[in-house]
Structure 1
Amino acid sequence: MSELSCRICHRTPAANVRFHGHQGLVVLMRFSRIDGPFCRDCGLAAYRDMSATTLVRGWWGMLSVFAAAGVLVVNAVQRGKVARLPEPERARNERTLDPGKPLLDRSAAYGLLVPALLLVFVGWSVVNGG
């Protein structure tokens, strides 16, 4: 059995993972995904991109709050599989995707305020009977 290679940069080792994205559209929802295998760097880049998009666009629907939360949890589990991989083998002058800033260091992390404020609002409404 041969070792998996990254679908983007063709380096090894790689893990066969799938990252999901979600966009809430008030009444409708849109799901997206990107399938591996990915090396560590390309996998982290894919995870951060898909999850950052979900943080910004995922909460804007009644059921989307739950769908976006589920997508973020699934992505976090899949991220662990690529994060544990060793650094990919690199040939001279060849590069993998740049993983960029960690997810919570990006401006998209402010998207977490939407469900947090929703919980505060619901809690306040329950306490005040209304």
Structure 2
Amino acid sequence: MYCCESCGVEAPTAHVSFTKNIGMFVARHEETVAGAFCKTCARRYYKDYQLINFLGGWWGMISAIITPVYILQNLGSWRGIKNMPEVPPGARVPLLNEGLWKHLVQFQPFIEQLYAEGAPPRHVTQRLAAESGVTPATADMFLREINRHINRQRRVQGAQVQQQRPQPRAPKLPGGKQVRLPARRPHAS
């Protein structure tokens, strides 16, 4: 991921998870947050979840046993990313506007060639960013939007195929059909 899953800012991220436990005399409540977070968001989750564990995690017999485990797990997660670089000053949420969409659509043959060669998605994102002059987060956002569009087309095609057949069968996607990207950015549905 090139953007923080919590705040959306384009910054170095690391996949972490933090768990909090709220102990009650006869019950308990547990919550886990996991994702690729920037250091600022990871620090915020760590502090919030640890504070709740220290103050509200001990009330109850099961919670008195489980809370120390969660405190140590959270500490281990934080120590794993403690040396991660801070969010750069001026980092912002990437935007994919009409102009960028039109610019990136021109690289469709390049994208198709990379996928045909079996390149992994992260490699395609990095190559597209380098080739097109956009940030990796913008290239990633563009490729995700394309995938949503293609999946939407496949669902529509699958529904049309299924409507034509009265007997229930798994819809077959037409083999070898090339999906063309729209000239304009599709509206979110």
Cα deviation, residue 4, structure 1: 3.7
Aligned residue type for 1:28: A
1:22 is matched with 21
Q: Distance in 2 between matches of 1:26 and 1:64?
A: 9
Q: Distance in 2 between matches of 1:20 and 1:71?
A: 6
2:63 is matched with 64
Q: Distance in 2 between matches of 1:79 and 1:90?
A: 22
Given that 1:4 and 1:15 are in contact with CA atoms closer than 8 Å, whether structure 2 keeps it comes out as no
Given that 1:5 and 1:12 are in contact with CA atoms closer than 8 Å, whether structure 2 keeps it comes out as yes
Cα deviation, residue 84, structure 1: 1.6
| 1:59-99: CA deviation from partner (whole Å, max 9, x where unpaired) | 0001111111011000001111221201112326x59xxxx
2:5 is matched with 7
Q: Distance in 2 between matches of 1:80 and 1:4?
A: 21
Q: Distance in 1 between matches of 2:80 and 2:38?
A: 10
- Structure 1 gap ranges (5+): 96-130
1:37 is matched with 36
Aligned residue type for 1:21: K
Aligned residue type for 1:39: C
Which structure 2 residues correspond to residues 23-102 of structure 1 after superposition, within 5 A?
23-91=22-90
2:110 is matched with none
Given that 1:22 and 1:31 are in contact with CA atoms closer than 8 Å, whether structure 2 keeps it comes out as yes
Matched residue SS, 1:51: helix
Aligned residue type for 1:77: G
Aligned residue type for 1:40: K
- Structure 2 gap ranges (5+): 94-189
Aligned residues: 92
Q: Mean Cα displacement is larger for which, 82-91 or 16-25?
A: 82-91
Q: Distance in 2 between matches of 1:86 and 1:80?
A: 13
Matched residue SS, 1:59: coil
Q: Distance in 1 between matches of 2:59 and 2:90?
A: 43
